[in-house]
Amino acid sequence: MAGLYKTRTASHPEYEHFFRYTSGRWLWDEQQQLRDRYRVFDVAELQNSAAKATGTDGCVSMTKLAEGGFNKVFRLLMNDGKAVLARIPNPNAGPPFYTTASEVATMEFARTILQIPVPQIFEWSATTDNLVGSEYIIMEEANGTQLGKSWDEMSPDSKLKIMREVVSIEGKMLSVSFSQYVFLLFPAAYGLSLIQPLAMEASTLRMTQ
């Protein structure tokens, strides 16, 4: 797989900025910090996966929107005008498989069970054993304007309405409790009949009894 990654990078140097961390610098051990956030993947296959997931013929453009310490986020524009977001985890994001699988299950739990308006996930993979060569999540793009860009121009009544919506969302999240420090996985991940909490102790995963 390492050789395949090298071929992809060498063949498409125009995508190197997709793989590298480009949002900041470090004063301490910068080279290691950059290695921890360097992820090579097959850009064309990610675009193909997004097109198939949305039922379109192809992707016409792809841009890096943002990246934090653990993930890179890309905006993919399809040929019919639809846009989706793709998230690629960095090597330092967390335990392979479990980090992506749990994020997807948690988002779906929030969207379908708690009825919180989070983006719908169209396709995902929690393994690198795929054509993309990386774990990934493809989800819908949230409509609207970033709140920080319009807050100062909003009326007091509009601000109050938004704050009430935030409180409502927090109330739904606080309505769910677990007996241990847990994360969620889909039943298929462990052959379970229900989404079950897992306990993490000393970086070892085990089923909660």
Q: Which CATH number belongs to the domain containing residue 89 in this structure? A: 3.30.200.20
- The domain tally of the chain equals 1
What separation in angstroms does the CA of 67 have from each of 39, 60, 72?
12, 22, 4
Domain assignment present for 104: yes
Within its chain, how far is the Cα of 121 from the centroid? 9
Contacts 24+ apart (CB under 8 A), 191-198: 195/105, 195/109
Q: State what percent of residues in the chain have pLDDT above 90.
A: 59
Is residue 95 within 8 A of residue 119, CB to CB? The reply is: no
Residue 27, token pair as written in the block: 């004063």
- Kindly provide the b/e burial profile for residues 13-28, where b requires at least 16 CB atoms within 10 angstroms of the residue's own CB: eebeebbbbeeeeeee
Beta bridge partners of 77: 61, 83
Domain assignment present for 205: no
Domain assignment present for 82: yes
pTM above 0.85, yes or no: no
Domain assignment present for 86: yes
Query: Domain range holding 94?
Result: 2-143
Is residue 57 within 8 A of residue 144, CB to CB? The reply is: no
C-alpha distance across the termini of the chain, in Å = 38
Domain assignment present for 116: yes
Summarize the confidence of residues 76-88 as an average pLDDT: 95
Domain assignment present for 196: no
Q: Write the single-letter amino acid at 10.
A: A
Domain assignment present for 157: no
Each residue of 148-169: pLDDT tens digit? 899 999 999 999 999 999 999 9
pLDDT band at 89 (very low <50, low <70, confident <90, very high): very high
* Sheet with 182-185: strands ordered across: 182-185, 196-201, 204-207
Each residue of 26-72: pLDDT tens digit? 999 999 999 999 999 999 999 999 999 999 999 999 999 988 889 99
pLDDT band at 192 (very low <50, low <70, confident <90, very high): very low
Domain assignment present for 69: yes
